[in-house]
Structure 1
Amino acid sequence: MIQSLVKASNILEFMKPVNKEYTIAEISEGVDIPPSTTHRILNTLIGCDYVMKDERTHLYKLGPGLISLGIAATSNINLQEDAYPILKALSKVTEEDAFLMIKSGNKGLVIAKAEGPHSLKAVEHFGLEIPLHMGAIRKVLLAFQPEKYIDFYLNEKLTPYINGGVPDKDKLIAELKHIKETNISISTSEYIKNGGGIAAPVFDYKKDIVASIGIIAPSYRITPDNQEELVKQVSYYANELSKKLGYY
């Protein structure tokens, strides 16, 4: 590995927050590189238009040369292909089936899946469209929609849960708010009898939700003893996929 390239990459990564400018001292401290080395790398990046320097304030920010690279990179993104190794990793660490889901109208649609080792499963089929308020993986998609859409959705006739119960709109609004605040959704027996799910959102480089990722399992395998660890793993791998899509 070429260390100078690694250092340059770390500097660019450090400078990613939008509309921020930095002194050499801030960058040097942030990436743990001596100021003299930081200065040399920044000068090289300026020559490539990857960094800009304000000669009046002596502050640095990302430059226009990165725009074309970003556009080219986004054109190479394939959500399903990028998600599959992450789903496999999530399934391996949790030993449960892992899913990638997207919004399709007012429903959620499975577009990728990795199977865990258990023979007893809470079955979720490809192409099966189920309303967004049913199940953790779909609720994540609903929670991050614009407020106007959520109001529209909740004013429609909501499909009852598997036990026949009609969704309480006030409770659902509170749950969606909590999901958006915590970036995690947990559900039990909403459209699969004795089935549970844990899910998290997937964002793209524009900070828009593009999908949700999560696990589905029989309820008895999601317990107070392991739920916290399962939540941690789902959140981690959702974030890994978001980073692949350029989210920061």
Structure 2
Amino acid sequence: MAVNSTAGRKPATPSDNAGTEAAARVADVLLLFTGGPRYLGVSTISRELDLSKAVVYRILQSLVSREVLATDPGVAGYRLGPAAVALGASALRRFDARVAATPVLRRLREETGETTTLSGLVGDERVYLDQFESPREIKMTVELGRRFPLHAGSSGKVILASLPEDRREAVLHRELPALTEHTITTAERLREALAEVARDGVAVSLGERQPGAGSVAAPLFGPDGDVHGSISICGPQYRFTPEAVGRYRDLVREAAAEIRQSWAWLQEPGGR
């Protein structure tokens, strides 16, 4: 017998829909601050989201009043405020993948002498969630919390290669901007590269996302079997010789498998 899941619910009213739309606008405004410059102004946000300046201004003032956004004297624009920082820190503390990855990535840094990173999949982009910096004087560091496209760099490509075909193709049908002269910008070439990444389980980048940077990454699968992010070893490109890359391939692949196992244990009853 079919069960009517809507039984007993009140039908949506115009005020309900308006409230949902308003909440979506606020969320869209906040998400802009994760992928752009530190400061954003009313005009930029209005243009990016196709909203009137009056609407954007009201949203910004509401967020400032709650310290989710803030302004600085002498600077035009808004930035993330202390409440947003607190929310982000709280989310990271509760993210099981980060808990599972921390000891593994620290050890991987000691084994390689290079910076190790954790990236998370956010929509059809990725963000760096954590890094463990190389102890060397010349090293690579990453910007935590900033969104990056999936088609450029090893951390993004290895996620893209692991996505279901429909999601992967949706990304490939969009514009693929060149971040450096080595970025793959055509869907056909990228498909070939991703097929090789999927077979190998590891992606390598030599200056694809950032000039002079080398990296080797492996996908991070969750206990549900879906890809949720990636881990990488990264550093100056000149140190990523064929011999080093060959060694890092095995290390990063083994580290990702260890993190996945620890992540699954954390989600079991009594695992924490």
TM-score range relative to shorter protein? 0.5 to 0.7
Matched, 1:163 2:181: yes
8 A Cα contact 1:136 1:187, kept in partner: yes
CA-CA distance at 1:246 after TM superposition: 2.6
CA shift, 1:167, in A, is 1.0
Alpha-carbon RMSD = 1.8
- 1:151 is aligned, of 150, 169, 174, to 169
Structure-1-length-normalised TM-score: 0.65
Structure 1, residues 32-81: CA drift from partner, whole Å, max 9, x if none? xxxxxxxxxxxxxxxxxxxxxxxxxxxxxxxxxxxxxxxxxxxx971211
1:78 counterpart = 2:100: no
CA contact (8 A) 1:122 1:192 kept: no
Letter in 2 for 1:107: E
Q: Mapping of 1:21-170 within 5 angstroms?
A: 78-163=96-181, 167-170=185-188
Aligned counterparts, 1:200-215, within 5 A: 200-215=218-233
TM-score (norm 2): 0.60
How many pairs does the alignment contain? 172
Which whole-Å CA distance do the structure 1 matches of 2:110 and 2:183 have between them? 34
Aligned counterpart, 1:187: 205
Percent sequence identity is 26
How has the CA–CA distance of structure 1 residues 115 and 182 changed in structure 2, closer, same or farther, with 3 Å as cutoff? same
CA shift for structure 1 position 122? 2.7
Kindly provide the CA deviation profile for residues 136-191 of structure 1, in whole angstroms up to 9, marking residues without a partner as x: 01111111111111111111111213128661221100111111111100011112
Is 1:241 aligned to 2:259, yes or no? yes
Q: Look up the equivalent residue of 1:196 and give its one-letter code.
A: G
TM-fit CA distance, 1:101: 0.4
Unaligned runs of 5+ in 1: 1-75
C-alpha distance in 1 between matches for 2:251 and 2:184? 31
Contact map agreement 1:189 1:195 (CA 8 A) in 2:
yes
- Matched residues in 1 for 2:171 and 2:212: separation? 26
Secondary structure at 1:161's aligned position in 2? coil
Residues of 1 paired with 2:190 and 2:263: CA distance? Answer: 29
Flag the 1:108–1:229 CA change in 2: closer, same or farther, 3 A.
same
- Structure 2: stretches of 5+ with no match in the other structure: 1-93, 266-272
**Is the Cα–Cα contact under 8 Å of residues 83 and 112 in structure 1 kept in the other structure?**
no
